[in-house]
Each structure stands twice: as structure tokens, then as C-alpha cells.
A and B are shown apart, each in its own frame.
Chain A
Amino acid sequence: MARIDVLKTYKLYINGAFPRGESGRVYEVKDSKGAFLANPCQASRKDLREAVVAARAAQNGWVSATAYLRGQILYRAAEMMQARKSEFVDAIIALEGKSPKAASDEVDSAIDTWVWYAGWSDKVSTIAGSTNQVSGPFYNFTIPEAVGVVTIFAEAKSTLLSLVSSIGAAISTGNTCIVIAAEKAPLTAITLAEVLATSDLPHGVVNILTGKSAELVSWVGSHMDIDAVDVSGLTKKQEADVRLEGAENLKRIHRFTEVRSAQRILSFVENKTVWHPIGI
């Protein structure tokens, strides 16, 4: 008799733990051929708020860690991704209908992209900062700093690669984030959460929610403790809603198309300029 597989229960990832959604709602995810795959949680507004609390609490510690340490932790996550490659490949084949070769290539590319972003952590201020030649006896310099808490609406295509680009760009500089996984293809996001949970990443730096993004758009837009939003996974109409609601605390809102892009990183930093007199 064939052995019965032990199937995974897909849950949310908040503050380093894997809770079920507080509302108890789940929704069915099917593979590209229409067969049942999983019942991931349908995160509610309350789950989002919990995730923001976790991300905010984690931000000061994460940004205060040395850039070298952040780089090492991110690199560690790439090591864990490599170890779980086959699981990612299976999820991509099932959900995105890709060939085994294409799925394998995407995972390789995602791992390499994660390493690319890991390497940026201690180089951002070198390329994006400056010392400024002001007309007077002052030492004047500008440094980029993480903007704070970023919410990411993940893209539905090339889910792992786009997740890695969005998360890597946001957290390498010291931001913390809440990821809202692509509604129909959330399994790579949850598996990525399992990678991050075993990568020395402090709890709360990355939080991952699954569910109906349309339901969460307005709550993300109006949440006053979210500083920035990556709207790459939203429609133009949804983006406009986030922008409208997000004006209340002037959220930094960006849509990206490039995979490996310094502009992604620089979109979620603030530049701080410091003046000091020169004298004896």
C-alpha cells in the first residue's frame, strides 16, 4: 500500500511565529491544473495590525545591528533557500505551471538575487551617501537610513524571485516588513517564511500574510504606523487606493519592475544630512 504523505499546514508568519489567522478563515489554493493544493489562512485586518506591531518593534534592533551582521544574516537565508530548493521548485511547478527546468532556473536566480541584496547592506551609504562641499567652514555629510516599516504587496508572477527582490531590497538597509503574498500563489511565500525562521533573522523583521490582498489594500493605506509600501503586486486601481489613503501620513509608495536594482533599495531609505562646524 502506498504511503500517505504528511502534508503541510500553511500558516501566517508573524513575529517569528507561525500563527493561524485570528479570524479562522482559510481559502482554497489550487494548482495550475485545478487540483486542490492547500488551505492557507485568509489574513484579516487584525492580523495585519499584529504584523505591523511586530515589524515596528523589530525595526530599531534590526537597523541598529551592524550592516555586516545584516549582510551575514541575509546570506544565511540564501544558504537555507539553497537547502530547500526542491520544495520551492515543486511549489513553482504546481502553482505557476512552469516546467521543472524553468522552475529550477527561477529558484537559482532567486537565491542569487538574495545574495546580491545581502551584499548591499554595508555598501549602500558608500554609493548613496555623500560628503557635500558647502561654502563655509562646515563638515557636511549625507547618509541614507532605512525608512522604517515597509509593506510589500507581492507579485503573482515569478513569485519567489519577486519576493526575494522586494524583501531583500527593503530589509538590507534595516527596514522591517510585512509581506502580503500573492493571493493565488502564496505557497512560495510561506516556504520562504520557514527559511527566514531558521536564518537567525530577528523575529518581526519579516512578517508574511496570506489572503485576499484586495481586502487589505485599504487597511494598509490607512495604517499610520506603516512608513512605505511596495505596490508592485497591486493593480493600478488598488495602487491609487493605497496612494489616496497613504497620503494621511505621506507613505513612501513605489512600484518596481527591475529584479536587481539599487533603485529598489534607495526608494526605501531617507537621506539625513548633518552639518558640523570646522574649527579649533
Chain B
Amino acid sequence: MTKFEYAPAPESTSIVDLKSEYGLFINGKFVAPKGGKTFVTINPANEKILAKVAYASNSDVDKAVIAATEAFKKTWSRTSPSERGKYLYRIARILQERAREFAVLETMDNGKPIRETRDIDIPLAAAHFFYHAGWADKLEFAGVGSNPKPHGVVGQIIPWNFPLLMLAWKVAPALATGNTVVLKPAETTPLTALLFAEVCQQAGLPAGVLNIVTGDGATGAYLVNHPGIQKIAFTGSTQVGKGIARAISGTSKALTLELGGKGANIIYDDAAIDEAVEGIISGIFFNQGHVCCAGSRLLVQESVLDEVTEKLKRRMSLIRVGDPLDKNTDLGAINSKAQLEKIHELANSGDSEGAQRWSPECELPGAGFWFKPTIFSGVAQSHRIAREEIFGPVLSILTFRTPQEAIEKANNTPFGLSAGIWTDKGSKILWTAQRLKAGVIWANTFNKFDPASPFGGYKESGWGREGGRHGLAAYVKVAK
């Protein structure tokens, strides 16, 4: 049979107006960093420099915290809840208006496919603002305790895997509940956050309510330890999250954490296998596997292992890897050289520990950071690729015989963020869901997100929830 090739379908970058240099966003204005230090952010799909970005010095962070403190005292706490909500509605609308610009910029800075930024990241970010806008004047009904009060100034540190979406998850509930914010975007993906600052200007958000300081881990650490911050919200690695918990252990700062995962995706033998295979694909290859809730441990009931593996390989051979700006691309670039090296290191450990690697034939571009969609079969619970978060397009396949064994293996991890269940039997879904120690469980689906749906982990996957009624609790103080 003739195989029809896709013609290239690149999204134009002309909609994006890249500046050569970006300042810090403090007290409603873009300002140069003290000392003038900058760093560059590159397009991971071709390693070309996109822009120079300000590196916030300690005194810049101090200024941002002062601006947020003043805004909290003088402006934001005196703004009525309904009016707070209206600013968030404005922001949501402007994000929708400028959605394509954000999608293209996000894809350029992050390396993820335009199909995902256009259809998932940006619409969901706007939806988070719209959803939380409506909560601002209804907090007394949220069931988070009586007389909920904002913490004050919140320090927020977000990762590079969903740059604008993670900003929305953090900033929208913080502002809706009446806090002011100092946000530090990830070092490798600062551009959409800085474009978001423009959105805040267009929305007329009062100066100092949101401040953005770009930098690296040291910038984040300085922000965490800053005495002017009352609450910290962090999304990132479990190791850094634990470090933050230690750093603030002697203070009265509040802390919420969204950390790593090693999600089990359980395929029972009575599942609709073709649908389950689609779920496995989206579970591990969505966003190049740079997803804390990825279904990175596939648990397949032994009797259907051959069928699942064969269909999975066939489906993987159809994954289109390449230019993230091409509208047909499924798997984009790995976000950074450092992350690519980490994926290689863990995948190599899979080889050396005795698992069998398989990837489809596919050509990778010359420049940029790339990793083929990869599965390992014959994986044992003790292997590093079954225990450690890879944060890349690498799936470990394990098997089980009984539902009890599936639960034991799924829960045998210090993580507890997500899990998947595939079966045609409703009672088995609920039986399994009840026993899984995970904060988000997808039954006959995977990697779905919504502002109304609480997200967050059990055990070492974090503290607290983001989204939904439950997510509001992270940003208010109540008597307990």
C-alpha cells in the first residue's frame, strides 16, 4: 500500500515580536537588572539564541518583594474581591486574544509541538484565569475554612515543562485569593512569562501585584529564603522540593509543592486494547515525557502483554518526531542539553541493568536536542528506570498477574502523583482507584487537565493541590 507522506506544515513565527533583550518585571515596569547581568535563552529545536534575559541579582529580588509587599498593603488588599476577579477575567480574555502569539513563542522557547501549545497549554492557561476569576468573590463558599485570609506575598517558582500553564496554575489562584506575587520562571523558558507581564500591563493590573524575576536556581533559593515572603509555591523536582522544605523548616512560611512522579499506567486484560494503546502513547509521549504525572511505568496484565507490546510498537512507529513548529509534529525537542543528558544516562542504565530497549526507526534533526520515543521491556522493580523519574519519552514496561499484584507494584514507590487504569469493568476501576496511592487517577483516559480538577500528589510527590476548590486552600490562612 502506498504510504502518503505529510508535507511540511510549519507555523509562522512572524506573529512573535522577539525583543533582543528582556528586563525584569517589577512594580508594573520592565527594569534592567542591577549590575546588568544577563543570560540567554535558546530554541532547543535548533540551539539558536532567542533573546538575552535579565539575571535578577539579590537586590533585584529585594525590590520585587518590596513592590509586592507595598502592593499587598496599599492596593490589592483594598481591592474588593469582585474587582480582583474582574482583573483576572481581563487577563483570561487577553490571553485568549493573543493565544497564537503565546503558542508560537512557547514552542520556540520550550521545544514542545505547536499542536500542544496551541490546543492545550495556552487555552488551559486562559481557562485557569477565567476559572479562578470567578472564585475571587466566592471564597466563603469554597469550604476551605471560615474567614479565609490571604497570606500576603507569595513566592512562586515554576518549571520549564509547561511554562505559561504552570504560571497560570500558580498566579491565578494566588491573585484570586488576594495575595501578591513574586514569580521566578524556569531558567530555560522565561519568555512566555515575560510576555504575560505585558498582558498584565494591558489588563491594567495594579503595579506590584505580580512581579517576575528571571534567573536560575540561586535566584529561586534567594527568593525562598527571603524574609518578606509569607508563602512559597514550588513546582519542580522532588530533590529541590525537599530542600525548600528544609530551608523553611524553622520559619512560619507556608509551603505547597508539586514534585516528581513515576506514574503507573495499569492495563488489565479486559481493557479495550486499542484505546489503551492510545492512552499509553499520550501517557508517556505527551510533551516529550516532560510531565511530572507521566504514565512512565506501564503495568500490563501478563495475558495481554504480547498484544499490547505489538500494538504499542506499531503505534510508536507512526509518531512524528521533529520541528516543533510543524503542525503535524507529535514529539518535539527535549528542552535542554542537561535534560537530554539525564535521559541518556537513565536510559543507558536500563541497558546495563538488563532491560531491552526498543525505538522506532526515525530520523532526528541534526541541531537541537532530541530523543527517540523509547520503550524498555523486561523491566524489574529494582531497575533505576522503574524507580527514578526520567522526565523524557522513555517508558518502562512491567507485568502483573492479579489485580492485587498490580496495586502492590503501582504503590511501590515513594512518589504518588498519578496513575492510569484501563479496563472495561466499572467496579474494577473503582476498586483499583480506591487502592492506588496517587493524587490523580485517570481511568480509561490519561493526561487530562482542567482548572476545576484538583491536581497534586501523595507521599513524596508533594504538598497540597492546585486547581478546583481544593487548590484554593493553598493560598489562604484559616484557623485550625
Please list the residues of chain A having a beta carbon within 8 angstroms of any beta carbon in chain B: 127-128, 130, 132-136, 138, 140, 142, 147, 227, 240-241, 243-244, 246-250, 252, 254, 256-258, 261-264, 267, 270-277
In the complex, 30 of the A-B residue pairs with CB atoms within 8 angstroms, ordered by the A residue number, are A130-B468, A132-B452, A133-B452, A134-B452, A135-B127, A227-B459, A243-B246, A243-B249, A244-B246, A244-B250, A247-B242, A247-B246, A248-B242, A249-B459, A250-B257, A250-B460, A250-B462, A258-B479, A271-B454, A271-B456, A272-B436, A272-B438, A272-B441, A272-B458, A273-B439, A274-B433, A274-B441, A276-B429, A276-B445, A277-B445
Inter-chain CA distance A134–B436, complex, in Å, is 22
Could you tell me if B480 and A140 are in contact, using CB atoms closer than 8 angstroms? no
Given A132-B468, A267-B480, do A240 and B249 touch, yes or no (CB 8 Å)?
yes
A254 to B433: give the CA distance in the assembly, Å.
Answer: 27
Distance of A132 Cα from B469 Cα, bound (Å): 9
B228 at the interface (CB under 8 A from A): no
| Further 10 A-B residue pairs, CB within 8 A, beyond A134-B450, A140-B452 | A130-B468, A138-B448, A247-B243, A250-B257, A250-B462, A252-B463, A273-B439, A273-B455, A274-B433, A277-B445
Chain A residues with Cβ below 8 Å from B469 are 130
Name the B residues within 8 Å of A256 (CB-CB).
480
The 8 A CB mask of B299-327 against A (1 = contact, 0 = none) is: 00000000000000000000000000000
- Cβ of B267 < 8 Å from any Cβ of A? no
Query: A263 to B145, Cβ gap below 8 A?
Result: yes
Q: Which of A147, A244, A270, A273 contacts B453 (CB 8 A)?
A: A273
Minimal Cβ-Cβ distance residue in A for B259: A250
- Cα distance, A240 to B245, chains bound together (Å): 11
The residue in chain B whose Cβ has the minimal distance to the Cβ of A261 is B480
| Chain A residues, CB < 8 A from B245 | 243, 246-247, 250
Within 8 A of A (CB), among B403-446: 414, 429, 433, 436, 438-445
**Residue contact B453 to A275, C-beta cutoff 8 Å:** yes
Q: Is B470 an interface residue (CB 8 A)?
A: yes
Q: Closest CB-CB distance, A65 to chain B, in whole Å?
A: 13
A275 to B443, CA, bound (A): 6
**B-side interface residues toward A, CB under 8 Å?**
127, 143, 145, 241-243, 245-246, 248-250, 257, 259, 414, 429, 433, 436, 438-445, 448, 450, 452-456, 458-460, 462-463, 465, 468-470, 478-480
> Contact: A142 with B127, CB < 8 Å?
no
Would you call the interface of chain A mostly helix, strand, loop, or mixed?
Answer: mixed
Whether the pair A250, B480 counts as a contact (CB closer than 8 A) is no
Q: Which residues from chain B contact A263 at a C-beta distance below 8 Å?
A: 145, 478-480
Q: Which 9 pairs, one residue from A and one from B, show the smallest C-beta to C-beta distance?
A: A263-B480, A243-B249, A247-B245, A134-B450, A240-B250, A244-B249, A132-B452, A276-B443, A247-B246
Please name the residue on chain A nearest to B457 by beta carbon: A270
When distances are taken between beta carbons in the complex, the residues of chain B under 8 Å from A130 are 454, 468-470
Shortest Cβ distance from residue A61 to the other chain B in the assembled complex, whole angstroms: 13
* Contacting pair B445 A275 (CB below 8 A): yes
Does B452 lie within 8 Å of A276, measured CB to CB?
A: no
User: Which one of A147, A240, A264, A272 lies within 8 Å of B433 (CB-CB)?
Assistant: A272
A254 to B478: give the CA distance in the assembly, Å: 13
Contact of B242 with A250 in the complex, beta carbons under 8 Å: yes
Q: How far is the CB of A67 from chain B (nearest CB, A)?
A: 13
Q: How far is the CA of A132 from the CA of B470 in the complex (A)?
A: 11
Determine how close the nearest CB of chain B comes to the CB of A160; give it in whole angstroms: 20
Partner of B440, one of A241, A247, A273: A273
Residues on B with beta carbons closer than 8 Å to the beta carbon of A248: 242
- Complex: A273 Cα to B450 Cα, angstroms: 11
B448 near A250: Cβ-Cβ < 8 Å = no
Known interface pairs A244-B246, A247-B246. Does A277 touch B444 (Cβ–Cβ under 8 Å)?
Answer: yes
